[in-house]
């Protein structure tokens, strides 16, 4: 076991995380708390945590690609992820597996170099083509049972940052990357 800012983690998991070159992320329930606020005029709102943004930017600084693969379509997701410098944004994906496979091929990244984070059943497709699977702390129990790691942080409250920090730690970069979150 190795000590991390999030508690102890199996050393084997850190070795796997050292290989990661691509992180595929769901949005609702992962970057957000999964709730969608709707105004009287149909306006949708979600909250994104700045800590997650910092983690995404830090990963990209060390050369780890970040992808968004989500079932919903939302202009606010496009704006938020573009602001973070995420280049691979796929929305409206009912079946996430072929999208992740195509991205792996495009980037010449293998399954063993891919991590995925999700919160519910639609994310199982990503888990099937990813080496390191993560479920947020408050994710669906069936997805959690398929995960190699379950965050100690809830979705929308820094769960993505937790995974980013673990990847940075595995790469020996956790305390060397500095910058601003958006």
CATH for the 2-170 domain, from 3.30.413.10, 3.10.310.30, 3.40.50.1000, 3.30.70.1230 = 3.40.50.1000
Residues 6 or more apart in contact with residue 43 via CB below 8 angstroms: none
Residue 104: predicted pLDDT: 98
pLDDT per residue over 79-98, tens digit each? 999 999 999 999 999 999 99
pLDDT at 182 over 70: no
Angle at 87 between CA 84 and CA 91, to 5 degrees: 95
Are 47 and 32 a contacting pair, CB within 8 Å?
Answer: yes
Could you report the per-residue pLDDT of 101-149, keeping only the tens digit for each?
Answer: 999 999 999 999 999 999 999 999 999 999 999 999 999 999 999 999 9
Q: Where are the domains of the chain?
A: 2-170
Tokens of 63: 């050369």
Whole-number Å distance between alpha carbons of 115 and 167: 10
Contact 55, 69 (CB under 8 A): no
Q: What is the pTM of this model?
A: 0.93
172 compared with 90, residue with greater pLDDT: 90
Coil, helix or strand for 22?
A: strand
pLDDT at 38: 85
Give pLDDT, residue 179.
Answer: 61
Q: Assess whether pLDDT exceeds 90 at residue 7.
A: no
């Amino acid at each position: 076991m190795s000590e991390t800012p999030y508690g102890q983690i199996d050393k084997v998991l850190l070795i796997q995380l050292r290989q990661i070159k691509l992180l595929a992320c769901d949005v609702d329930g992962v970057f957000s708390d999964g709730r969608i606020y709707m105004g009287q005029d149909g306006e949708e709102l979600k909250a994104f945590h700045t800590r997650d943004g910092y983690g995404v930017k830090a990963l990209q600084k060390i050369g780890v690609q970040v992808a968004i693969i989500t079932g919903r379509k939302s202009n606010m997701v496009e704006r938020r992820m573009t602001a973070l410098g995420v280049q691979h944004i796929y929305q409206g994906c009912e079946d996430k597996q072929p999208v992740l496979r195509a991205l792996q091929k495009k980037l010449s990244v293998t399954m063993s170099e891919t991590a995925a984070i999700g919160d519910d059943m639609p994310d199982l497709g990503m888990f099937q083509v990813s080496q390191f699977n993560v479920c947020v702390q408050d994710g669906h129990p069936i997805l959690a049972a398929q995960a190699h790691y379950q965050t100690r942080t809830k979705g929308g409250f820094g769960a993505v940052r937790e995974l980013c920090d673990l990847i940075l730690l595995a790469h020996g970069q956790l305390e060397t990357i500095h910058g601003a979150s958006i």
